[in-house]
């Protein structure tokens, strides 16, 4: 049955985030003169992409009814593995990149496998992984490198080509765009296609809506959840390689706390904490809101100490707006 455009818009999970993003964009455009400069917007996009690359698969995981508290340190683990393996083995950096991919996917598989086998809450499983990775990142780095920072690998074979893939800058006229923006948009497109055009997307919504009901109609619940954790791990690998090849060295203590930012971006984008509802586009918009807020405060020359307060208030308002829109959408059915 054909529905009017306003009704169809109300049923989109990302509507609240889009409204909030437009309001925030107009706000900073008015209070910060430099916000609309091409260089400023490219900086906003770059910061948004570093969050959005992880927020998109985290959103899919939340739609599937699960969490992952290990995402922040998993990004750092991915970078550390690439760096230290390449340096210690005196190998081409692409060998380290490949080993990092396998190990990071292994971490994702571990989270999904333990979740489906033990039936423990994902909060407990991934909190344990978070703690283990935090300790391994610091302990192994100090044992292998002697410090909490990895050695430089910029003079190794393959570094330049790897940097071109994970940390290069594209120039369009006078605008400089980091390649992470392209990775971000690609992940959004793939995730949206999976959710809306494939059987796997139906499975994700089904297991998030109710595991028992999904299993009763033949949904492969275990495979779906493990696949979602593998998707998060793959995005963590991309982010980790960017971290390494953008800065050359990696601090072993980085990443702690970023998992909450990824979850917050997904929630602002319309994902429910209870699962079964949300979109990849909404998570991308949520990441963009974070980027605008972070850089907009700087361009407006405000005290950056207020940034976390601003984000907390924004998260609360966005959640309330999303809940109101969802109720209105349900009332129109």
Taking only the tens place, the pLDDT of each residue in 169-207 is 988 877 889 999 999 999 999 999 999 999 999 999 999
Residue range 62-74: average pLDDT? 95
- Kindly tell me the sign of the dihedral angle through the C-alpha atoms of 172, 177, 183, 188: negative
146: which DSSP letter?
A: S
- Among residues 57, 94, 95, 109, the alpha carbon closest in space to that of 259 is found at 57
Report the pLDDT averaged over residues 76-80. Answer: 96
Reduce the DSSP state of residue 250 to 3 states and report it. coil
- Whether residue 141 contacts residue 147, with contact meaning beta carbons closer than 8 Å, is answered with yes
Cα four-point dihedral sign 269, 309, 180, 34: positive
Question: Of 314 and 53, which is predicted with more confidence?
Answer: 53
- Per residue in 55-66, pLDDT tens? 999 999 999 999
Q: How far apart are CA 234 and CA 66, in angstroms?
A: 17
Topology given in CATH for the domain delimited by 15-326: ABC transporter involved in vitamin B12 uptake, BtuC (1.10.3470)
pLDDT, mean over the chain: 89
Angle between helices 71-88 and 258-268 (to 10 degrees): 130
Helices in the chain by DSSP H: which ranges? 5-10, 15-31, 38-63, 71-88, 93-118, 122-145, 159-166, 179-197, 199-209, 211-216, 221-247, 258-268, 280-299, 307-331
List the end-to-end C-alpha distance of the chain, in Å, as a whole number.
11
Please give the DSSP secondary-structure letter assigned to residue 304.
G
Distance CA(324)–CA(317), nearest Å, equals 11
Q: At what angle do helices 93-118 and 122-145 cross, to 10 degrees?
A: 150
SS3 82: helix
Distance, CA of 84 to CA of 136 (rounded, Å)? 13
Q: Is the Cα torsion angle 52, 56, 61, 64 positive or negative in sign?
A: positive
Q: How far is Cα of residue 25 from the mean position of the Cα atoms in its chain?
A: 21
215-255 pLDDT per residue, tens: 999 999 999 999 999 999 999 999 999 999 999 999 998 89
Residue 312 pLDDT > 90, yes or no? no
pLDDT value at residue 331:
62
Where exactly are the structural domains of the chain? 15-326
- Which 3 state secondary structure label does DSSP give 3? coil
CA pair distance 280, 56, nearest whole angstrom:
5
> What pLDDT, on a 0 to 100 scale, did the predictor assign at position 302?
84
Other Cβ atoms within 10 Å of 247 Cβ, number: 13
What is the tens place of the pLDDT at every residue in 114-167?
999 999 999 999 999 999 999 999 999 999 888 889 999 989 999 999 999 999
Lowest-confidence region among 196-210, 258-272, 311-325: 311-325
- At residue 61, the pLDDT reads 97
DSSP 311-325: HHHHHHHHHHHHHHH
């Amino acid at each position: 049955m054909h529905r009017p455009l306003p009704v169809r818009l109300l049923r989109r999970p990302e509507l609240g985030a889009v409204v909030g993003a437009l309001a925030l964009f107009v706000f900073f455009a008015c209070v910060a003169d430099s916000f609309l400069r091409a260089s400023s917007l490219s900086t906003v996009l770059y910061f948004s992409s570093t969050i959005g690359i992880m927020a998109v698969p985290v959103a899919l995981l939340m739609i599937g009814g699960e969490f992952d508290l290990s995402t922040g340190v998993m990004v750092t683990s991915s970078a550390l593995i690439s760096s230290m393996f390449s340096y210690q083995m005196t190998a081409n950096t692409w060998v380290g990149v490949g080993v990092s991919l396998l190990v990071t996917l292994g971490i994702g598989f571990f989270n999904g496998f333990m979740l489906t086998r033990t039936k423990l809450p994902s909060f407990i499983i991934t909190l344990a992984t978070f703690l283990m990775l935090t300790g391994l990142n610091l302990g192994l780095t100090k044992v292998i490198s002697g410090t909490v920072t990895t050695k430089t690998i910029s003079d190794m074979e393959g570094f330049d080509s790897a940097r071109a893939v994970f940390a290069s800058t594209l120039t369009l006229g006078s605008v400089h765009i980091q390649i992470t923006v392209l990775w971000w948009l690609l992940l959004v497109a793939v995730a949206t296609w999976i959710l809306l055009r494939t059987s796997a997307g139906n499975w994700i919504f089904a297991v998030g809506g109710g595991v028992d009901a999904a299993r009763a109609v033949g949904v492969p619940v275990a495979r779906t959840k493990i696949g979602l954790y593998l998707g998060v791990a793959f995005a963590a690998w991309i982010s980790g390689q960017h971290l390494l090849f953008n800065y050359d060295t990696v601090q072993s203590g980085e990443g702690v706390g970023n998992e909450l930012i990824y979850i917050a971006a997904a929630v602002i984008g319309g994902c429910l904490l209870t699962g079964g509802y949300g979109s990849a586009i909404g998570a991308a918009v949520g990441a963009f809101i974070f980027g605008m807020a972070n850089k907009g405060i700087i361009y407006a020359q405000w005290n950056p100490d207020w940034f976390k307060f601003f984000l907390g208030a924004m998260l609360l308002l966005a959640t309330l707006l999303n809940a109101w829109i969802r109720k209105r959408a349900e009332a129109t059915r």
